[in-house]
Structure 1
Amino acid sequence: MMLWIRAYDGESDVRSYFELDGEEWALRQVDLQGPQRQPVTAASLAEVIEIRDCGDLAVMAAYERQYGVLAEGALRGWQESDGAAEMTRQEFESTWAAARETLDADRIEETS
């Protein structure tokens, strides 16, 4: 069973969005920082595993620079966190798509 959640860390002003598997491990993660909600993370476990299996550390480092680092470990207990709540798949997907578009555009601008 898939689950989509959001959480807010007021200390670092980061809004995090997670797609979780049945054991509450992150499959995908989006982090938006600051009042402008600037995407800083849009990482996918499937992509990370694919890169890891190829064994190319340079490619992994480039991925993490572009998309950030996915949370490790189960996110059990998220229900007790202030500001954490379930969200719909559609809400997650639109947040994911917008964050990826921004991070991809930022990468293109850096290489231009």
Structure 2
Amino acid sequence: MKYLSTVGLLILSNAFMTLAWYGHLKFFGKNGHSSTPLWAIILLSWGLAFFEYCFQVPANRIGFEETGGPFSLVQLKVLQEVITLIIFMIFSLIVFKNIRFTTNHFIGFGFLVVAVYFIFKK
């Protein structure tokens, strides 16, 4: 159960993180509200990042082996990075419709999956 809780919270956390980091490029870009001051966009991103931390911190506490979870610190970090890439790819395809992933992107992503295999290998 702690595996699923950790992964689920990391997915939610990364959804907010991706929206905070990259959403403003779409919603406040040249086709959006480009006259919005940068300070307002930063505050909005900080507000979204608050929710990222509301999921990230519990995910790490639940998942970390020293607090009773199933993952080592390195495993948590690598897991979080792979989830970040998956969420980013989905977000990019849905929100930025002109984004195209190339073979090189998928090869690089494949190497990260191989890294996860080796990090989790006993």
Same-fold status (TM-score > 0.5): no
Shorter-normalised TM range: 0.3 to 0.5
Question: What is the TM-score of this pair, normalised by structure 1?
Answer: 0.38
TM-score w.r.t. length of structure 2: 0.36
Larger radius of gyration: 2
> Could you say which structure has the higher strand fraction?
1
